[in-house]
Structure 1
Amino acid sequence: DQVRKAGAAARAMLVSTAAKQWGVPESECRTEASSVFHDASNRRADYASLAMKAAEEPLPDLDSLPLKKRSEYKLLGKRITGVDNRKIVTGQPLFGVDAVVPGMRYASYLKCPAAGGTVRSANLDEIKALPGVEDAFVIEGNNEPTELMPGVAIIANSTWAAISAKNKLEVDWDETHATRASWSDAQKNAKQAASDNTGELLHDIGNVDEKFADADKSYEAYYEYPFLSHAPLEPQNTTAWVHDGKAEIWSPTQRPAQGAASVAGILGIDEKDVEVHQLRVGGGFGRRLMNDYMCEAAAISDQAGVPVKLQWTREDDMAHDFYRVGGFHALKGAIDKAGKLSAWHDHFITFMGPNKKPVSGGDMRASEFPVDFFPNTRVTQTMLPLRVPTGPWRSPRSCGIAFAVQSFISELALEAGRDHVEFLLEMLGEPRWLEEGNINAMNTGRAARVIKLAAEKAGWGNPMDKGRGLGLAFHFSHAGHFAEVADISVDENKKLTIHKITVAGDVGPIINLSGAENQCQGAVIDALSTTLGLQLSIENGRIQETNFHQYPILRMSKAPDVAVHFIESDARPTGLGEPALPPAAPAICNAIYAASGIRVRELPLSNHGFSV
């Protein structure tokens, strides 16, 4: 409402200015299409012509200003196309990769494939003699993954020459302090931790032990999900020109201010002497919250003494990401004689960094479903050491946790002989805010409404053909309440036909319906990719996957219909970049079980013979 009040105040000041200029009462003026009108005298003034004088008007009392009713909106809630849409589809320059600066050279940068490695030596003289190469040198860096890791830079007269020369580099890496991480080792250690049934107590609510002791039955399952790459279509790049104690940067970054601060620190100059031009991002998903590529370009330009455009390859992008962290859940539920869930225990096995705290995206918060509302809940945590860079990945934390938690709730409903929707609604209890007035806290009433809407729109409970099933999942994350239903067929060869994904969400009033639908559809497609076939293999600190042939993003021809429905509640509007993703994976896996009787507890599905 603060923004709406600010808009109403600006409108009132513009109307007041126009009325004074025309010598008419304000009550006779109206506004439309960024203009003030006085119909009686057939006069019109656009906002731009009034703005300077309006700025001198006294600020009206914000609380006294009338706000538009939702029924009076002319733009809010309607489909508004993106201002860059035509440029995107016609290939006009918008993105970081399109940046051109007079006199610029082209750069590539090779870092140790195992994080923490440094350069002992490299065949620099041989590289400098290659066609198009103008220089090659070692950068010591500051050994900070989010800023400047050690490596070898190449300056050339074209991107092709720079990348071709990089492919011929022979570097002797010092891996004394490099990571030796292995995913297979982590899997073994996690299973051992789960069997030991120990861990730090994170949350303990109600009488968990008593409820398990009194349960009619208890049920256990073990879930795991892998590390993932962001894999943006546009690999990392930045154009930089460092000279005369100043730096000018052209970069597709999600955090330009943080990037400027990092560049200033790397170069040893004042932050005010770093100018960042934020260019359109060719896929971010949290990856470009880190500005390592920006720091690299600045350091290369500084040492080379010329403007440079640093361009990563897909292989660079896969090898030097801030990955979605994998995780493991040893889950246990108690079911009482009435078939109700009476207790919940999640032993969460995650990874810790050098600070002995969970790595980015690997923490379990009290707001994660169902910790924040279910009366008898316990969460314990075991942390395994990790030295692989991790970071925010679309819907951090919840993107993995929801798969385990919401799949297990479906299992519990089946074990109790109950309908999944009925069982889930019963878990939520009476409609209420978990923290009154906190938009970031779940509202069980809003949750129930989206669950019911998704089930209704998907035809929940209708008879299904053999080999076809519906799977539902709900998750609250990033201030969004979302339920999704997957409609899937499974044949005898485990080939999946994804007929439709039905999405129901409540994020308050919708501002731009087109953008809102697109965010949800994109989130579901993202989740489908990861669920079906994406994973990273880590061996001796190195990511084994190098490109899309080993990391198969979902193709357009395989994308299903994604039907999006919104409940526009009166709550304050919140974001849509994240919350539609977490329910998709468990909904898909629950549908596979309904269609085939096969329960998947480890992603991706391709590991279990499923394909699309």
Structure 2
Amino acid sequence: MKPVQELKMVGTSPQRYDIPAKVDGSLKWAVDVKLPGMVHARNVKPPVAGATLISVDESSVRGMPGFVKVVSKGNYVAVVCEREEQAIAAAKALKCNWQKPAAPQLLAGSDGLFKYMRETTPKSSQTPINIGNVDAAFAGAAKVVEAEYEIPFQGHTAISPAHALADPSNGQMTIYSNDMKSYGMRNGVAQFLGMPREQVRVIWMEGPQGYGRTAADDAGFEAAYIAKELGRPVRMQWMRDEEQAWDTKGPAFTFTIRGALDAQGNMIGLDYTARSADYNHLGYNEPDTVLIAQLMGQRRDRPAAGSSAYPNDMYAIPNRRTLLEVVGLPLVWETPLRTGNLRDPNGPQSTFAAESFIDEMAFAAKADPLEFRMRMLTAARDDDNGFKRARSIAVLKAAAEK
């Protein structure tokens, strides 16, 4: 530790190095990298979830300008051309014979999704919070409030679709990417390609998909695989419609919440159940869960368990029970509904439902919603290491002043 007199950054507002270049357009982004001999790739995803590739007619694009090669394995298909616009055109023109599943593998809209989530048997269930006597509190309550909430899948929808450039020159694989976990991509790509880790290098550059488990992972693996196949630098970029459909998403949730009030309008019980469609949650740069691996048929024996979430609050509610459940969708692999971390993981969903319900309880108690919350925050004095109670009280006071 330095003596405080030697600290030069604390208490100052240093200039950000990246702002001037972003303003004047001179910053070089990951999407801007160009290398000698570089070619461009676009993938051809299944037309419907659960489709199986029967055949690819390379002759349908062989005569197109700039055509280099069709790369295909399992249900994964990509077209490579000398220029980007040529690759886009070839991907649209490539004739693929897909066998569609006998029945739709995705649920019919939001109504079908939430109905399925509420009725299906959970893959996992846990009760991390069970304090007081919840059943007794509800039995003796002056008023009971019940509510249900539903939150759909949330896409990252970055300002630019996923992209990466991979260079197999000089006996190593160099990947230019804005993925948030460069070392994880290095490890994952090395395993996926069967290369020594020391021969894989990831160069991080500025880009739009740098937070959460985005499709930047997937694009990096695709570029590296195709580059190894061709022996040339390959730039892979997804199209906007692919990004919207196939990017990893924050999981959908359903909530069933009950609250109990006593005769004085105090909240004496909370019974909270949250279900998430998060089975087979994807980690970062996993060689057996990235989309190209799934489409090629390379996958782990057991999908990741996933997780649900409970309210992240410091309200003093004497009787509280929390049930967290995770459900799996009918199609677990090779699906556009791939779930992964969306910042803050599971926080927006659980906070929206929990705080909306507190508003319902305040209304039922005929209390001001801010005063109702403040009463529960100040009814206890314990706090966590992050001073969550103190900060929550400060936020409410600041909001009241506005």
**TM-score, normalising length from structure 1?**
0.56
Offset of residue 127 of structure 1: 1.3
- SS of the counterpart of 1:164? helix
* 8 Å contact from structure 1 (residues 113, 319) kept in 2: no
Contact 1:107-1:159 at 8 Å conserved across structures = yes
What aligned pairs does 1:74-473 form with structure 2 within 5 A after superposition?
75-114=9-48, 117-140=51-74, 150-174=75-99, 180-182=105-107, 183-192=110-119, 201-243=127-169, 245-288=171-214, 291-353=217-279, 355=302, 358-359=305-306, 362-365=307-310, 368-370=311-313, 374-386=317-329, 387=332, 388-430=337-379, 432-435=381-384, 438-439=385-386, 443-456=388-401, 458=402
Distance of aligned partners of 1:172 and 1:276 in 2 relative to their CA distance in 1, 3 Å threshold: same
Contact 1:345 1:377 in 2 (8 A): yes
Does structure 2 retain, via aligned residues, the 8 Å contact 1:330–1:346?
A: yes
> Are the counterparts in 1 of residues 148 and 257 from structure 2 also a CA contact under 8 Å?
yes
Q: Which runs of 5+ in 1 are unaligned?
A: 9-65, 141-149, 459-612
Q: Which has the higher contact order (CA 8 A, sep 6+)?
A: 2
CA, structure 1 residues 350+429, in 2 after alignment: closer, same or farther (shift >3 Å)?
same
User: Given that residues 107 and 156 in structure 1 are in contact (C-alpha distance below 8 angstroms), is that contact kept between their aligned partners in structure 2?
Assistant: yes
Contact 1:433/1:443 (<8 A) preserved:
no
Check whether the contact 1:243–1:302 (CA below 8 A) recurs between aligned residues: no
Residues of 1 paired with 2:166 and 2:13: CA distance? Answer: 38
Q: Does structure 2 retain, via aligned residues, the 8 Å contact 1:217–1:334?
A: yes
Query: 1:378-412 deviations in whole A, cap 9, x for unaligned?
Result: 11234332233111112111111111110110110
Task: Please list the CA deviations of residues 196-226 of structure 1 after superposition, one character each: whole Å capped at 9, or x if unmatched.
Answer: xxx7544311111111111110111111111
Report if the CA contact (8 A) 1:430-1:445 is conserved.
no
CA distance in 1, matches of 2:279, 2:151: 19
Partners of 1:103 and 1:295 in 2: CA distance: 20
Deviation at 1:106, TM superposition (A): 1.2
- Does the 8 A contact of 2:214 with 2:248 survive in 1? no
Query: For residues 203 and 415 of structure 1, do their structure 2 counterparts lie closer, same or farther at Cα, with a shift above 3 Å needed?
Result: same
* Cα displacement (A) at 1:321: 0.7
**Relative to structure 1, is the Cα distance of residues 97 and 447 closer, same or farther in structure 2, using a 3 angstrom cutoff?**
same
Note if contact 2:166-2:224 (Cα within 8 Å) is conserved in structure 1.
yes
Per-residue displacement from partner, 1:100-156 (whole Å, max 9, x unpaired)? 11111111112225566543212211112111212222134xxxxxxxxx4212111
Shift of 1:186: 2.2
Please name the residue that 1:48 is paired with: none
The residue number in structure 2 matching 1:515 is none
Which stretches of structure 1, 4 residues or more, deviate above 6 A after TM superposition? none
Overall identity of the aligned pairs, in %: 29
Cα displacement string for residues 447-468 of structure 1 (whole angstroms, at most 9, x for unaligned residues): 1112111221x2xxxxxxxxxx
Question: Could you tell me whether the CA contact under 8 Å between 1:346 and 1:380 is conserved in 2?
Answer: yes
Cα distance between partner residues in 1 of 2:370 and 2:257 = 20
1:150-199 Cα distance to aligned partner (Å, 9 max, x none) = 421211121111111111223223556998131432211345479xxxx7
**Cα gap change, 1:168 to 1:209, in 2 (>3 Å):** same
Distance 2:170 2:50 in 1: 32
